Amino acid sequence: MKYKSVFDIIGPIMVGPSSSHTAGAARIGRVARKLFGKEPKRAKITFYGSFAKTYQGHGSDVATVAGILDFDTSDLRLKNSLLIAEKAGMEVDLTTSEVLTEHPNTARIKLSDDQESIEVVGVSIGGGKIEVLEINGFALQLGFDSPTMLVLHEDRFGMIAAVAKILTQHKINVGLMEVSRHDRGARALMAIETDAPVSAEVLEEIRQIPYVFDVSLLSLN
């Protein structure tokens, strides 16, 4: 079942005109921003497919930048995001690509400042729902319907069990889990959607597991 909640159908509350091209674009931008964790200095956006063809009419560019500014789909500042980004000193570079992608509405977003960068590929699948298909080269398929924990770690035995053990101790049920790695033994990314909220203490416990590099919790709501 792709759609899980009645609010996927009745919602989101959003600034028009298109749920897939405006609200969906804003949400992809916001996922990238949340993953980056701060306001970036530079945002490089590439649109593919229908995004590339119709972004001007739908305000997909404005919406994506609004998401990168951490605005919600219903935030009235969405319309003026390009100006707001410029005032904040954020460099926005938008290009379109003719490359064929599997999904018609695909966006690749690279955010960076002087210290670090992150690259996210997201698709807008309709009604404002999105899926993230790639984070820093890790192939995944995440809807971010509920709070999602991302654990960056070394690819070695026992990592999943170690994380699962801590969740078990805190009686947190895993709703959905995805693992992805660059190469065997290289860096790997674990994405976990949980039923119960994950507290800062639990995140810290997981961060203390040997061979875990980073832990973050991403929530779109």
Partner 1 sequence: MFRNVAELVELAESQGKKISEVMIEAEMEVSQRSRDAIMQDMYANLDVMEKAVRRGLTEDIRSHSGLTGGDAKKLQEYMKNKTFLSGPTLLNAVSMSVAVNEVNAAMGTIVATPTAGACGIVPGTLFAVSDKLQPTRDEMVNYLFTAGAIGYCIANNAFISGAAGGCQAEVGSATAMAAAAIVEIAGGTPEESAQAVAIALKNMLGLVCDPVAGLVEVPCVKRNAMGAAIATVAADMAMAGIKSVIPTDEVIEAMYRIGCAMPTTLKETAQGGLAATQTGRQIEAKIFGVRMEK
189 contacts: CB under 8 Å, gap ≥ 6: 135, 136, 138, 140, 150, 151, 152, 153, 179, 180, 181
32, 67 Cβ separation under 8 angstroms: yes
Stretch that binds partner 1, among 108-116, 122-130, 152-160, 205-213 (CB under 8 A): 122-130
Contact 70, 79 (CB under 8 A): no
**Contact present, 159 and 189 (Cβ < 8 Å):** no
Structural element, H or E, at residue 118: strand 117-126
For position 81 contacting partner 1 by CB under 8 A, the verdict is: no
Q: How far apart (Å, rounded) are the C-alpha atoms in residues 156 and 171?
A: 25
Q: Which stretch binds partner 1 (CB under 8 A): 12-20, 82-90, 147-155, 164-172?
A: 12-20
What is residue 210's three-state secondary structure?
Answer: coil
For partner 1, which is the closer residue by CB, 16 or 137?
16
- When asked if residue 186 is in the footprint of partner 1 (CB under 8 A), the reply is no
Query: Which one among 34, 58, 108, 153 touches partner 1, defined by CB under 8 A?
Result: 58
User: Judged by CB, which is closer to partner 1: 19, or 180?
Assistant: 19
The residue behind tokens 């319907």 is: 145
For residue 38, state whether it binds partner 1 (rule: CB under 8 A): no
Cβ at position 171, least distance to partner 1 in Å: 13
- Is residue 100 a contact point for partner 1 (CB under 8 A)? no
Tokens of 194: 């949980």
Residue 144 — left, alpha, or beta (φ > 0 → left; ψ -120 to 50 → alpha)? left
Q: Between 63 and 121, whose beta carbon lies closer to partner 1?
A: 63
Identity of residue 199: S
- Indicate the residue among 35 and 107 with the shorter CB distance to partner 1: 107
Q: Return the axis-axis angle of helices 60-68 and 24-36, rounded to nearest 10°.
A: 30
Closest separation in Å from C-beta 163 to partner 1 = 21
**Alpha-carbon distance 166 to 209, whole Å?**
10
Q: In this chain, which of 39, 41, 44, 54 binds partner 1, going by CB under 8 A? A: 54
Closer CB to partner 1, 9 or 186, in the complex:
9
Determine, following the binding rule CB under 8 A, whether residue 3 of this chain makes contact with partner 1: yes
> What does the binding site for partner 1 look like in residue numbers (CB under 8 A)?
1-20, 22-23, 50, 53-54, 56-59, 74, 76, 79, 104-105, 125-128, 195-196
